[in-house]
Amino acid sequence: MKDKFYNYIQQLQDKITSKLEAIDGKAKFKEDLWKRPEGGGGRTRVIENGNVFEKGGVNISGVHGKLPDSMQKYFGVEDADFFACGLSLVIHPKSPMVPTVHANWRYFEMYDQDGNIVDQWFGGGQDLTPYYLFEEDAKHFHQTCKTACDKHSPNFYPKYKARCDEYFYNEHRNEARGLGGLFFDYCKASNEMTMENWYDFVTEVGDSFLEAYVPIVEKRKDLPYTQEQRDWQEIRRGRYVEFNLVHDKGTLFGLKTNGRIESILMSLPPHVQWVYDHHPKKGGEEEKLIDVLQNPREWV
């Protein structure tokens, strides 16, 4: 399973980076191949200063070795080895009219001292973080997520949409990071789903990513915007940074397992503002967005 999934994310990385380069028309992804001293490595691809994308990363990794002490305590195990692989991406467009997007699809195995698999699971999801609210974009993104989920279970979309709203939430701000999407974790074999079934589901969602995001980019990338709207985008990006550094489990896992810092922090946007006690104008488009972030909606 680990070889099969790693092969899948390699191909998906190629497909996504090629498409995003074509949309940008100027910038190309720079590739870094890296090795982790304890075992494994990855392929980081970053795009910067393009016509459409200000900064973005589409990374894959496959790492293995002894599970660090902090993670052994977290999982309640002793002397365990692990293998983890996944694709993680964050795209920060230049225009405040185009939303930031994040996605991640991952697979994890844990082994006993004899090398037998004692646990294995899939996780992942995709979510949208706009700076200005276009309801049709939110509906399109969520409908694409729902269509992928419905092929596997009618329960998946409502369940993983709710988990996404719950997970990508800045508690210290009392607001969601964005408009959500899907979030699933610890997807393990059961009476209803084999690991092969989970593989089919996770790859279905992975394959739906470009269909969910690209039409929104193409519709919004050439809209005009003002400096004031750009400032708002940078203030909202600050909230994105806060979530990733304070709450995000993937970031914390990477830092605690001696992950590659450049790959972990590639999710941070290049230009951000933190304005003291900032509040959007009453009745403006900015306030409309905040209202939805404080009261997550059912989009489809």
Q: Write out the DSSP string of 149-204.
A: HHTT-TTHHHHHHHHHHHHSEETTTTEESSSEEEEEEEE---SS--HHHHHHHHHH
Q: Is 269 helix (H, G, I), strand (E, B) or coil?
A: coil
In angstroms, rounded to a whole number, what is the distance separating the alpha carbons of residues 26 and 76?
Answer: 48
In angstroms, rounded to a whole number, what is the distance separating the alpha carbons of residues 120 and 134?
Answer: 39
Q: Is the pLDDT assigned to residue 140 strictly greater than 90?
A: yes
In angstroms, rounded to a whole number, what is the distance separating the alpha carbons of residues 187 and 194?
Answer: 10
- Residue 125 tokens read as 């999801």
Q: What is the pTM of this model?
A: 0.95
Which residues carry out catalysis? 102
What is the overall mean pLDDT for the chain?
Answer: 94
Residue 210 identity: L
Higher pLDDT, 115 or 59: 59
Query: Kindly report the CA angle at 187 between 183 and 192, in degrees rounded to 5?
Result: 120
Q: Which CATH architecture has domain 2-294?
A: 3-Layer(aba) Sandwich (3.40)
Q: What is the pLDDT of residue 266?
A: 82
48-72 as b/e: b if 16+ CB within 10 A: eebebbbbbbbbbbbbbbebeeebb
Tell me what the mean pLDDT of segment 230-246 comes to: 95
Distance of CA 129 to the CA centre of its chain: 10
Per-residue model confidence as pLDDT tens digits over 35-72: 988 899 999 999 999 999 999 999 999 999 988 777 77
Tell me what the mean pLDDT of segment 189-217 comes to: 97
In angstroms, rounded to a whole number, what is the distance separating the alpha carbons of residues 63 and 35?
Answer: 9
Per-residue model confidence as pLDDT tens digits over 162-184: 999 999 999 999 999 999 999 99
Domain boundaries, the chain: 2-294
- Residue 264 tokens read as 């972990």
Per-residue model confidence as pLDDT tens digits over 8-22: 999 999 999 999 999
